[in-house]
A and B are shown apart, each in its own frame.
Chain A
Amino acid sequence: MASTYSDITKKALWKENPVIRQILGICSALAVTNLVANTLVMGIGVMLTTAFSCLTVSLLRNIIPVRVRMMVQTLIIASYVILVDIVLKAYFPDMSRALGPYVGLIITNCIIMGRCEAFAQSNPPLLSFYDGLMSGLGYTLVLTTIAIVRELLGFGTILGYEILGDWWTPWTVMVMAPSAFFVLAVIIWIVKSVTEKKDAPVKQSAKQEVQVSGD
């Protein structure tokens, strides 16, 4: 179980990316990716809550009784999510208004509990904090890619700046939630094709990997 920082980075961003490899965090991938700006704020929110939740779980890992550990994890995650919401409301009111109910939705993100349970529970605090941060970053990168495609085709803009001009007819479907599925599926397809070619000799073992899904 000896993980190094570079190991964690590679796994979180690519080899075991929470969204494209583990299909976690799909709920929010649908909800926030129609505008790049919303996605970035949501991504930062998820990075911070995951990192601090993992840190806290890791600090308490030797005290928490095994039977109630899930309850304690949920409590810790919920506390950080509410904290993020309060801080946004107090010091970034414009962002808070733009994100509305999505901040509360961070708690439904499986990545946070997944990392707490799979990593922070059995690793030292700093390493766990870093793992949470990187998992959040892996999530953010994939969602931002989806958001760039959706905002560009759906509004003709990126971060609100007009890119495609008047001749472009916006695709309403790209603004609606289902298009996130289309874009995400295409991204997973591309990533799978690229990696399967590269990992041809180990293809068999890769296929046997058990994948967890949820939202």
Chain B
Amino acid sequence: MKDKGWFNIVFMFICTAFFTGILSGAYVFTRPQIQANARLNEIRAQLNALQIELPAGMSSIALEAFYDQNIKEVKKDDVTLFQYETEEGAVQNLLIFEGAALWGDIVGVIALDEDFKTVIGMDIIKQNETPGLGGRIAEDWFKEQFRGIKLYEDGEPLRYASPGKEGQLDAVTGATATSNALLSVINESIKELRAKTGGGN
């Protein structure tokens, strides 16, 4: 009986049903936790881009509460932005950017001042680049370069500096493809924002 064709097929079906059943169960069971992790990760990235320092031991619940209280989602001429009002009353904008890099999609956030002329900060929410090479775009030294830089008005808002060429940023050595992909994704988002909101005024 064991080597009959129909038994093999039935056995495969039962096995597949059994193992996919276990996986579906595990997936459903852990989904809330995975979603909560993803949300926390995004909140941390956004707050980091805004350079908001929070107490180190802050619980995730307090963090979410702080975020919900202070950051508002706004639709501005067809573009979704998140806005934060500083204690001095200045409005800061958070723009989520998303696009293809070398290995997978990059999702990140860039914080801009009220009239989209100065960068407050940048952080990566999700990336799948090579650890140690392209993955270094998520390291602090790279992200901190974005603090306080002025965007170019014409052409690409952000540029890498190279010999003989002016720019505000340094690329990651040995990871040119990832560096360029990241910057073009951010630049596209900023240009789209400028176009839709009337040249950034």
Chain A interfacial positions (CB closer than 8 Å to B)? 32, 34-35, 38, 63-68, 71-72, 75-76, 79, 82-83, 86-87, 89-91, 93, 97-101, 154-155, 172, 175-176
| 3 closest cross-chain pairs (CB), A and B | A90-B30, A34-B132, A93-B37
Chain B residues contacting A99 (CB-CB under 8 Å) are: 131
A72 CB contact (under 8 Å) in B2, B12, B128, B173: B12
Contact: A68 with B11, CB < 8 Å? yes
Of B15-23, B92-100, B115-123, B188-196, the segment with at least 4 beta carbons within 8 Å of chain A is B15-23
Asked if B177 CB lies within 8 Å of chain A CBs, one says no
A109 to chain B, nearest CB (A): 18
B165 to chain A, nearest CB (A): 22
In the complex with contacts A71-B12, A79-B19, A86-B30, A176-B133 CB distance below 8 A: yes
Asked if B41 CB lies within 8 Å of chain A CBs, one says yes
Mark each residue of chain B from 128 to 144: 1 if its CB lies under 8 Å from any CB of chain A, else 0. Answer: 10011101000000000
| B15, B41, B128: residue with the most chain A Cβ atoms closer than 10 Å | B15
In the complex with contacts A68-B12, A98-B131, A100-B131, A79-B23 CB distance below 8 A: yes
Asked if B174 CB lies within 8 Å of chain A CBs, one says yes
Q: How far is the CA of A32 from the CA of B130 in the complex (A)?
A: 9
Q: Would you call the interface of chain A mostly helix, strand, loop, or mixed?
A: helix
22 A–B pairs (Cβ distance < 8 Å), ordered by A: A35-B132, A63-B11, A64-B11, A65-B3, A66-B3, A67-B8, A72-B12, A72-B15, A75-B19, A79-B20, A79-B23, A83-B22, A86-B26, A86-B27, A86-B30, A87-B26, A87-B30, A97-B126, A99-B131, A100-B127, A101-B103, A175-B133
Asked if B33 CB lies within 8 Å of chain A CBs, one says yes
Asked if B152 CB lies within 8 Å of chain A CBs, one says no
Asked if B7 CB lies within 8 Å of chain A CBs, one says yes
In the complex with contacts A65-B7, A172-B173, A100-B30 CB distance below 8 A: no
A174 to chain B, nearest CB (A): 9
Q: Name the residue on A nearest B12 (C-beta).
A: A68
A82 CB contact (under 8 Å) in B2, B15, B23: B23
Chain B: how many interface residues by the 8 Å CB criterion? 30
Contact: A38 with B131, CB < 8 Å? yes
Chain B residues contacting A93 (CB-CB under 8 Å) are: 37, 41
Q: How far is the CA of A34 from the CA of B132 in the complex (A)?
A: 7
Contact: A65 with B8, CB < 8 Å? yes
Asked if B34 CB lies within 8 Å of chain A CBs, one says yes
Chain B residues contacting A38 (CB-CB under 8 Å) are: 131
Q: How far is the CA of A82 from the CA of B27 in the complex (A)?
A: 9
Chain B interfacial positions (CB closer than 8 Å to A)? 2-3, 7-8, 11-12, 15-16, 19-20, 22-23, 26-27, 30, 33-34, 37, 41, 103-104, 126-128, 131-133, 135, 173-174
A177 to chain B, nearest CB (A): 8
| B3, B12, B132: residue with the most chain A Cβ atoms closer than 10 Å | B132
Q: Name the residue on A nearest B33 (C-beta).
A: A90
A65 CB contact (under 8 Å) in B2, B126, B128: B2
Q: How far is the CA of A75 from the CA of B21 in the complex (A)?
A: 12
| A68, A75, A83, A97: residue with the most chain B Cβ atoms closer than 10 Å | A97
Chain A residues contacting B133 (CB-CB under 8 Å) are: 34, 175-176
A172 to chain B, nearest CB (A): 5
Chain B residues contacting A64 (CB-CB under 8 Å) are: 11
Contact: A35 with B34, CB < 8 Å? no
Chain B residues contacting A91 (CB-CB under 8 Å) are: 33
A213 to chain B, nearest CB (A): 25
Contact: A154 with B16, CB < 8 Å? no
Contact: A90 with B37, CB < 8 Å? yes
Contact: B131 with A67, CB < 8 Å? no
A176 CB contact (under 8 Å) in B23, B127, B174: B174
Contact: A100 with B11, CB < 8 Å? no
Contact: A101 with B11, CB < 8 Å? no
